Amino acid sequence: MEGCIFCMIASGEVPVPFVYEDGLVVAFNDAEPQAPVHVLVVPRSHHTCLDDGVPADVSAALCAAVPKVAELAGIAASGYRTVINCGPDARQSVQHLHLHVLGGAQMGHGMVTFE
C-alpha cells in the first residue's frame, strides 16, 4: 500500500536488517524498543489488522515465525510475550498488521495499563 512504512520495509524499499524472513513475513527490530528484545513480525502483504480479511496462510505464517524469531533472538527458553494491537483503544500506531515479540527480562504481573 502506497505510503505504508511497513510495506516499504517489507519490500526492501526502506532497507532495514531482517531478523527473520520467509515468503510471507519479515521480522525486524522495533525502532523504539519497549523491552530488551522487541521484534516486529510483519506480513509482506498489506492488511490493516486482524479484522482486515487476513488470509489463513498469512495468519499461520505470522504465528509460525514467532518461535523462530524467539530462537534467533535468544529468548526462546526464557520466554516472551506477543502482542497485536488493533485499533484506537489499543493504540495501534502503524496501520499495517504486525505482531510484537517482547522479551529479554522478567515482566511485571499486569498485562496492560489503562488511562
Catalytic residues, by residue number, are: 98
Contact 27, 21 (CB under 8 A): yes
Least Cβ distance, residue 35 to ligand AMP (angstroms):
10
Quote the CA–CA distance of 66 and 76 in Å, as a whole number.
Answer: 9
Nearer to ligand AMP, 21 or 30 (CB): 30
Tell me which H or E stretch contains 28.
strand 25-29
Least Cβ distance, residue 20 to ligand AMP (angstroms):
14
Give the count of residues interacting with ligand AMP (CB under 6 A).
10
Q: Residue 20's beta-bridge partner residues?
A: 27
Which parts of this chain interact with ligand AMP (CB under 6 A)? Answer: 5, 30-32, 40, 85, 91-94
